[in-house]
Structure 1
Amino acid sequence: MDFDTQVVIVGAGPAGLLLAGDLAESGVSCIVVERRVRDSELTRAFSVNARTLEQLDARGVADDLIATGLRNPVLQFLQIDLSRLPTRFPHVLVTPQYNTERVLRARARSHGVELREGCEVTDVRQGPDGVEAQVRNADGTSRTLRAAYLVGADGRNSTVRRSLGLPFPGRAAVRSMMLADVRLAEPPRKPPTVGAVGDAFAIIVPFGDGWFRIMAWNRRHQMPDSASVDLDEIKAIARRALGQDFGMHDPRWISRFHSDERQCPRYRDGRVFLVGDAAHVHSPAGGMGMNTSIQDSANLGWKLAAVLRGRAPDALLDTYQAERHPVGRRVIRRSGALLRGVLTTPQALCGLRDFAARTVLHFPPIAERLARAMAGIDIAYPAAVGAHPLTGKRAPDIALAGERRLYEVLRGRRFVLITPTGGSVPASMADDWGGEVEFVTSAGATGKTVLVRPDAYIAWATSDQSSEGRNNKIREALARNCGPAATDG
Structure 2
Amino acid sequence: MNGATRPVLVVGAGPTGLLLAGDLAAAGVPVTVLEKRPREISNLSRAFVLHARSLEQLDARGLADGLEAVGRPLDRLRLFGRLTLDLSALPSRFNHLLVIPQYEVERALLRRAEEAGARLRYETEATGLAQDADGVTVEVRAAGGGRPERLRAAYAVGADGMRSAVREALGVPFPGRRVIRSVLLADVRLAEEPGSLLTADAGRDAFAFLAPFGDGYHRVVCWHRGRTAPDGRPPGLAEIKEITRLALGRDFGMHDARWTSRFHSDERQAPVYRVGRVFLAGDAAHVHTPAGGQGMNTGLQDAANLSWKLAAVVRGHAPEALLDTYQAERHPVGRSVLRSSGGIVRLATAGPAWAPVARAAATTVLRHAGPVRRAVTGRVTGVGYAYRAPRGAHRLTGRRAPDVALAGGGRLYEALRGGRFVLIAPRAYEAGGGREGRLAVARWAGGRRTTVLVRPDGYVAWAAEAADAESVEAALAAHVG
TM value normalised by structure 2: 0.95
Q: Partner residue of 1:256?
A: 262
Paired AA for residue 373 in structure 2 = A
Farther off after superposition, 41-50 or 74-83:
74-83
Structure 1 segment 46-125 matched on structure 2, within 5 A? 46-77=48-79, 78-125=83-130
In 2 relative to 1, CA 194–435 (structure 1 residues): closer, same or farther, beyond 3 Å?
Answer: closer
Deviation at 1:373, TM superposition (A): 2.0
Contact 1:430 1:439 in 2 (8 A): no
Structure 1 segment 86-485 matched on structure 2, within 5 A? 86-138=91-143, 140-346=146-352, 349-350=355-356, 353-354=359-360, 356-358=362-364, 360-420=366-426, 423-425=427-429, 427=430, 429-430=431-432, 432-465=434-467, 470-483=468-481
Q: Partner residue of 1:41?
A: 43
Contact 1:276 1:294 in 2 (8 A): yes
- How far, CA to CA, are the matches of 1:50 and 1:474 in structure 2? 31
In structure 1, the gaps of 5 or more residues are 484-489
Contact 2:2 2:315 in 1 (8 A): no
Deviation at 1:205, TM superposition (A): 1.4
Q: Alignment partner of 1:344: what SS?
A: coil
In 2 relative to 1, CA 439–35 (structure 1 residues): closer, same or farther, beyond 3 Å?
Answer: same
Q: Alignment partner of 1:214: what SS?
A: strand
- How far, CA to CA, are the matches of 2:355 and 2:475 in structure 1? 55
Paired AA for residue 463 in structure 1 = E
In 2 relative to 1, CA 181–481 (structure 1 residues): closer, same or farther, beyond 3 Å?
Answer: same
Deviation at 1:433, TM superposition (A): 2.9
Q: Partner residue of 1:16?
A: 17
Farther off after superposition, 449-458 or 248-257:
248-257
Alignment: residue pair count:
475
Paired AA for residue 93 in structure 2 = R
Contact 1:5 1:31 in 2 (8 A): no
Contact 2:52 2:92 in 1 (8 A): yes
- How far, CA to CA, are the matches of 1:325 and 1:309 in structure 2? 25
Deviation at 1:228, TM superposition (A): 4.5
- How far, CA to CA, are the matches of 1:314 and 1:185 in structure 2? 57
Q: Partner residue of 1:487?
A: none
- How far, CA to CA, are the matches of 1:409 and 1:195 in structure 2? 42
1:331-356 deviation digits (Å, cap 9, x = unpaired): 00111111101111426742772475
In structure 2, the gaps of 5 or more residues are none
- How far, CA to CA, are the matches of 1:208 and 1:358 in structure 2? 32
Paired AA for residue 384 in structure 1 = P
Deviation at 1:258, TM superposition (A): 0.7
- How far, CA to CA, are the matches of 1:258 and 1:356 in structure 2? 25
Q: Alignment partner of 1:36: what SS?
A: coil
- How far, CA to CA, are the matches of 1:48 and 1:471 in structure 2? 40
- How far, CA to CA, are the matches of 2:378 and 2:355 in structure 1? 28
Q: Alignment partner of 2:422: what SS?
A: strand
- How far, CA to CA, are the matches of 1:209 and 1:376 in structure 2? 26
Q: Alignment partner of 2:58: what SS?
A: helix
Contact 2:22 2:109 in 1 (8 A): yes
Paired AA for residue 92 in structure 1 = L
Deviation at 1:276, TM superposition (A): 0.2
Paired AA for residue 134 in structure 1 = E
Q: Alignment partner of 1:76: what SS?
A: strand
Q: Alignment partner of 1:151: what SS?
A: strand
TM value normalised by structure 1: 0.93
Paired AA for residue 318 in structure 1 = D
In 2 relative to 1, CA 352–317 (structure 1 residues): closer, same or farther, beyond 3 Å?
Answer: closer
Paired AA for residue 24 in structure 1 = A
- How far, CA to CA, are the matches of 1:14 and 1:418 in structure 2? 30
Deviation at 1:5, TM superposition (A): 5.9
Contact 1:79 1:358 in 2 (8 A): no
Q: Alignment partner of 1:298: what SS?
A: helix
- How far, CA to CA, are the matches of 2:18 and 2:479 in structure 1? 26
Farther off after superposition, 208-217 or 56-65:
208-217
Contact 1:119 1:135 in 2 (8 A): yes
Contact 1:197 1:350 in 2 (8 A): no
Farther off after superposition, 105-114 or 190-199:
190-199
- How far, CA to CA, are the matches of 1:197 and 1:417 in structure 2? 52
1:144-182 deviation digits (Å, cap 9, x = unpaired): 111111000000000000011110000112111111112
